[in-house]
Structure 1
Amino acid sequence: MEYKDYYQTLGVAKTASEDEIKKAYRKLVRKYHPDVSKEANAQQKTQELNEAYGVLGDAEKRAAYDDLGRGHHYREGQQFRPPPDWGRTHGGGGGFGGMDSDFFADLFANLGGGRRRQAPPRKGDDSHASIAIDVMDSYQGASRNITVYVTEADGYRSERTLTVNIPKGISAGQQLRLSGQGQGGAGGPGDLYLEVEFRPHSRYRVEGRDVYASVPVTPWELALGGEIEVNTPSGKLTVNVPAGSQTGRKLRLRGRGLPAREAGDLYLLLEVVLPPATSEKGRAVYEAMARDLAFNPRAGD
């Protein structure tokens, strides 16, 4: 049988750290997951990724695998035959079961007694998906229903409706783990990982744990300053606008961002809104301003 280069399967270097291997696996398994991938070989690719991560993601298995590769210089596609002393030097398999491929079985089988040890039932694959939430869901916490499709242990594909609890203070990119809601397997189902993303909002924008909100203001509120009441994701607040402010000015409210253990900040972006000059009185006011203020914002250009 052919030797398998698990590092090549995950697209990482042989010196990759545990975290780099985990990130590469998660990225690829999301890409090729049969529920979302349009690749014809998505199922096979997912199985290969799971097998590679099953070895490289376990420190003991990885060490034994690396030792074999260094000592016998195997390459991807090369015919593989475990060395005669493999069963003695590596404890005759010592708990390395659990993978389906012949290569893995021969790599970690009980060679010392001439018999492969029976692998325990394999747990189902983990599922990966995304869930879109509103900014306010992170401020207040929420509960959302989602529909997922999974393959049960008997091969039957089923639809599940799940209730997902959105914890207060969650950020984009964080994952919610739903235990036992992944793909089915003889050893039990895998888990479902939901990556959080925020829906676009007309007024709010999230960067990390900081939130940016546009606040419409009148020309006199900018020029004269004073207190104004604004709507924020956590409710109405009264803030002070410094006199002489210009449109685009940012007012920072510490700790008013996403309410995590280390809360972010809320930035209010002041945007002037001009009253319409559609009435005779409105036009008269603008004419008086043009005459009395004699202001030219392009004078310095």
Structure 2
Amino acid sequence: MEFKDYYQILGVDKAASIPDIKKAYRKLARKYHPDISKEPDAALRMQEINEAKTVLTDPEKRAAYDQLGERYHAGQDFRPPPDWDAGFEYSGGGFEEFDLGEFSDFFANLFGHGGRTRSRAHHAYQMRGGDRHARIFVDLSDAFHGATRSVTLHVPQTDAQGYVSLQEHNLKVRIPKGIKEGQHIRLAGQGHPGIGGGEPGDLYLEVHFTPSPDYRVEGKDVFATLRVAPWEAALGAAIDVPTPSGQVHLKIPKGSQGGRKLRLKGRGIPGAEPGDLYFVLEVVLPPANTDKARQLYEAMARDMPFNPRQTR
């Protein structure tokens, strides 16, 4: 999948106002609309023009796309990072499947997650403010111990001339112990203000874990790679290893092979039914970088005939 430069598609500057973007869209639409255009690629060009207008005239989508676009250029091989839109507030109103069929895979991958739920409102003399949504990333340790974190969200604002700017929304957020990937934290009254004295909406924070070089999370289970020496795997050992909830004394069964999983029941994400922690063994060979080490390997090759490729 290639990165799309929506500004380039519409032929506008990145600082263009929303009225300027709409003007450029109308000009291109008159040229490429399939009903009137004789251009051979009119349908494809019109799809790109519609996508570009959809994103760049929506202050929320545009703000997140602008941040992403700082790292890519048109035509570059692209896979959206999992945190590409983290820290931006959204009003909701995602795209249904039949709408996404009109757009490219690039658009669908960025904006078609369905994670933005529609705002709720009571249509009367008083109107409840709409809910807002944002994704945040927290450390795995916060799920094990709970924490209070400072979070800064970016809220797009459009001025009277149609120019988009970002305002910061600073919050103190309590991360409850035992929270899992994808769960939401509701902050009552932190959404859109109400109308006519109506109550404000809520802000929903969708929680994800910051990628870790040490741990991988699946639901409420946690996985870690444990590097062991050949003699620890072959003869068995008892070693101290760190975990998100503290150090544990772990027994390596003798005769273990690389890839074996050692399960610590109840040591995963805490909760009424806690997850498990799995250590996946990786047997690491010491280097043969000294005369003594080479002699030991040669002795093993001579005294311990072994063909790892032999069929069992």
TM-score of the superposed pair, with normalisation by structure 1: 0.60
Gaps of 5+ in 2: 1-54, 64-89, 97-115
Q: AA paired with 1:133? A: V
- 1:45, CA displacement in angstroms? 8.9
Out of 202, 222, 225, the residue aligned to residue 214 of structure 1 is 225
Conserved 8 A contact 1:151-1:183:
no
1:131 aligns with 2:142: no
1:145 aligns with 2:156: no
Q: Name the residue aligned to 1:19.
A: none
Letter in 2 for 1:37: K
Where does 1:1-301 land on structure 2 (aligned, <5 Å)?
36-38=60-62, 46=93, 98-99=122-123, 119-150=124-155, 158-186=167-195, 187-300=198-311
Where 1:197 maps in the other structure, the secondary structure is: strand
Contact 2:119–2:130, Cα closer than 8 Å, also in 1:
no
Q: Is the 8 A contact 2:215 2:224 kept in 1?
A: yes
Kept in 2, the 8 Å contact 1:205–1:213? The answer is yes
Larger radius of gyration: 1
Per-residue deviation, 1:239:
1.1
Q: 1:6-42: per-residue Cα shift (whole Å, max 9, x none)?
A: xxxxxxxxxxxxxxxxxxxxxxxxx9x9564249xxx
Check whether the contact 2:143–2:177 (CA below 8 A) recurs between aligned residues.
yes
For the Cα contact (< 8 Å) 1:218–1:272, is it kept in 2?
A: yes
RMSD, matched Cα? 3.5
DSSP 3-state at the match of 1:145: strand
What SS does structure 1 have at the residue aligned with 2:247? strand
User: Is residue 59–residue 156 contact of structure 2 (8 Å, CA) maintained in 1?
Assistant: no
- Aligned mates of 2:300, 2:171 — CA distance in 1: 60
CA distance in 2, matches of 1:265, 1:53: 37
Quick one: distance in 1 between partners of 2:276 and 2:149? Answer: 26
Structure 1 segments, 4+ long, off by >4 Å, are 43-50, 52-55, 149-152, 155-158
Identity of aligned residues (%): 50
Q: CA deviation at 1:232?
A: 0.9
Aligned equivalents of 1:46 and 1:283: distance in 2?
65
The one-letter code of the counterpart of 2:273 is: E
Gaps of at least 5 residues in structure 1 are 1-30, 56-97, 100-118
